[in-house]
Chain A
Amino acid sequence: KNQVEQSPQSLIILEGKNCTLQCNYTVSPFSNLRWYKQDTGRGPVSLTIMTFSENTKSNGRYTATLDADTKQSSLHITASQLSDSASYICVVSDRGSTLGRLYFGRGTQLTVWP
């Protein structure tokens, strides 16, 4: 069964600190992995997208890693800001259809305190 598991479920950090969010998946055949940021009451916004051949990708203070062998990904946030408070969703796409079927994790709810 294709699944995406994220940890931790929630995380509280102080402003300026770094944090790392984890994602494990069983989706096969693998096409790509995305990290989305979803603010409360808003739609998800893409942060990074990585294919099988990529093992790291950065977008400003966000750095995603991918280990396709162990089927694990992480999202590292550097020097956190209050605006980073949001849900971070790991999404994996399979290669089996032109639809680009997406499998969503439940997200990690990050809260940044001043």
Chain B
Amino acid sequence: EADIYQTPRYLVIGTGKKITLECSQTMGHDKMYWYQQDPGMELHLIHYSYGVNSTEKGDLSSESTVSRIRTEHFPLTLESARPSHTSQYLCASSQPNPGTGYTSYEQYFGPGTRLTVT
């Protein structure tokens, strides 16, 4: 099992609150990702990072922001939570797959944070 952790696992919060979802990995991976997943739907990439001080927006527009000050830590912040932010948020990290070449990055996922905004 991969060494990637997310806290909290579940969060219920009121509209307008500021929240930070934590993600950390102990594998020394440079690349890290945040995905959003609604029930029965595919994962959507919302943020990614190539390494320290590198952050990029993903395919799905998100009002959240991320930071990457340390290799092992990739927190996601919502300044003002809204009911539309209710979803599951999955963090992942990756390294090249030695058996398939540098473009075949194996991604390891954390357990996810289930966010409910009331």
Contacts and interface: CB of A to CB of B under 8 A. Distances in A.
B79 interface: no
A109 B40 CA distance: 8
Interface in B38-97: 40-45, 48, 50, 90-92, 94, 97
B116 interface: no
Interface residues of A, number: 24
Nearest to A87: B40
A100 B104 contact: yes
Given A105-B42, A106-B42, A43 B100 contact: no
B79 to A, nearest CB: 25
B107 A102 contact: yes
A43 B105 contact: no
B6 to A, nearest CB: 8
A107 B100 CA distance: 24
A22 interface: no
A32 B116 CA distance: 34
15 contacts: A42-B112, A43-B90, A43-B110, A44-B109, A49-B104, A49-B106, A51-B100, A93-B103, A93-B105, A98-B103, A100-B31, A101-B45, A102-B107, A104-B43, A109-B40
